Amino acid sequence: MPGQPENLVVVQVLTTHVVAQPGTATPVDVLIANHTERLDYFELLVEGDAAAWVTDLPDPVQVGPGGQERVRFNLSPPRLPTTRPGRHTLTVRAVGYYSHSAGAAPFRFSVGAFVAFLGALPPDAANAGQVHLDVKNQGNAPTAFTVVWHAPEGHLTFQPPETERVIPPGQAQPITAGVRARRARLFGGPVQHKFSARLKAAEAAQVQEFSGEYTDRPPLSAGCAALLVAGVLILAGLATAFGGYTLYFEPTQLARATTAAFQSRTPTATLTPSATLTPSATQTSTSTPSATPTATPTPTATATPTPTATSTATSTATPTLTFTPSPSAIVRLDVDHFLATFRYPNGALAFYRLEGEPQTGEFMGWVELAEWRAAQPGQVLEDYRNGLGYRLVFTRLTTAEVKALGLQPAVLQNGGWYHVLLSAPDGATLADRTLALQP
């Protein structure tokens, strides 16, 4: 009857320590006790934010005076990213049809987290030195996803080779890494290399595999090859004029010439030979005969030849290496006995091992602007050993190393010092360079 206290109807949730898994139904048992003096029909109601997850509520149940009945419903949270994992509370209420008496009890339970995801490798996944895999977190909790990049043929390097990213539930985000050809080419046509991506979520056994292709495009087109060859021939001529590779920066000079070498953002190497040969020859011959007979024969003959020959030959050869601003050519040209270092307008660095003559050798490494600019002190950016055993290591120096070498860090704003080491197959050092670079 109206106005009766609620303790005349007692509701007790018998099922405890419930952990409901999204996408599954968990049965929950409830006991209804009728302490009134009359028979009644009790309707079971569930209230709360998660009440929509309750299914299979029973029909009104008849309970006699002083009696009790057991009923059941199911808890079925959906398998959706919006199903929040963790603790939840519902209120279970029983209301009498005749007496309007009611009783209630709290129902506390937990919802588990589930992992589900979907990866996709778009057609333009590998472009401009980067590769990315689109990942959507279809689970209901933030999840750490890991992508392992691999080139089956070994022609590509990835930085980093393993990428991890935490993605919130229901969101899709790309997981990105840098990619480049292991053997850099200065010029030529595009070449495609196959790669694979392995996607895995933390605390999940499911793995997704993807495959794609990366197009390696050299920085110079085939039409620029002739210009490069011409430049190498100039270097060869310069080396011949000096009897070997004598025009180069000593490491100590390079280490301390920070201001002169990097004040200009786009210096280029210009070779200016000068040779002049001026021959001059002049010959003058004069002959004046005179014979005048008189009463007194006096023969007179005068011949005065005056030859003059002057030959002058002046040969000067003054090859010089100067730096002049030019926005379209190589930014920096650094030639050592065994190593040539190039820096291009886009900021990339290339290392070329010289062998015998300047026009012979091979490329030993290529580092993009974004790579060396973002490198941490002490980080090795390139460590390459060719089939003959020659090894090139390119590293950013630490603050302690810069100080120990007596370099000038204050001169390079937003820049840093880098170390290049070229070793022979037997381990002997061929080139030990210190480079000051700024973006």
Q: What is the pLDDT of residues 139-159, one digit of tens each?
A: 999 999 999 999 988 888 898
pLDDT reported for residue 186: 66
Percent of the chain with pLDDT strictly greater than 70? 67
Residue identified by tokens 């909790």 is 141
Task: Supply angle C-alpha 299, 302, 308, rounded to 5.
Answer: 170
Of 209, 252, 216, 239, nearest in space to 361 by CA: 239
Order of strands across the sheet that contains 9-13:
9-13, 26-34, 68-75, 54-55
| For range 9-18, the mean pLDDT | 95
* Better-predicted residue by pLDDT, 432 or 12: 12
The percentage of residues in the chain with a pLDDT greater than 90, rounded to a whole number, is: 38
Whether residue 101 has pLDDT greater than 70: yes
Domains of the chain in start order, with CATH, are 6-111 (2.60.40.10), 117-216 (2.60.40.10), 224-271+320-437 (no CATH)
Average pLDDT rounded to a whole number, residues 31-35: 95
CA atoms of 138 and 120, how far apart (whole Å): 13
Mean pLDDT of 367-374: 84
State residue 335's pLDDT score. 58
- 382-409 per-position pLDDT tens digit: 898 887 888 989 998 888 888 888 777 6
- pLDDT tens, position by position, 258-289: 333 333 333 333 333 433 334 444 444 444 44
Reply yes or no on whether the pLDDT at 200 is more than 60. Answer: yes
Q: Which of 250, 242, 241 is CA-nearest to residue 336?
A: 250
- Polymer length of the chain: 439
Mean of the per-residue pLDDT values of the chain? 74
Comparing 274 with 71, which gets the higher pLDDT? 71
Instruction: Name the least confident of 149-158, 198-207, 335-344, 386-395.
Output: 335-344
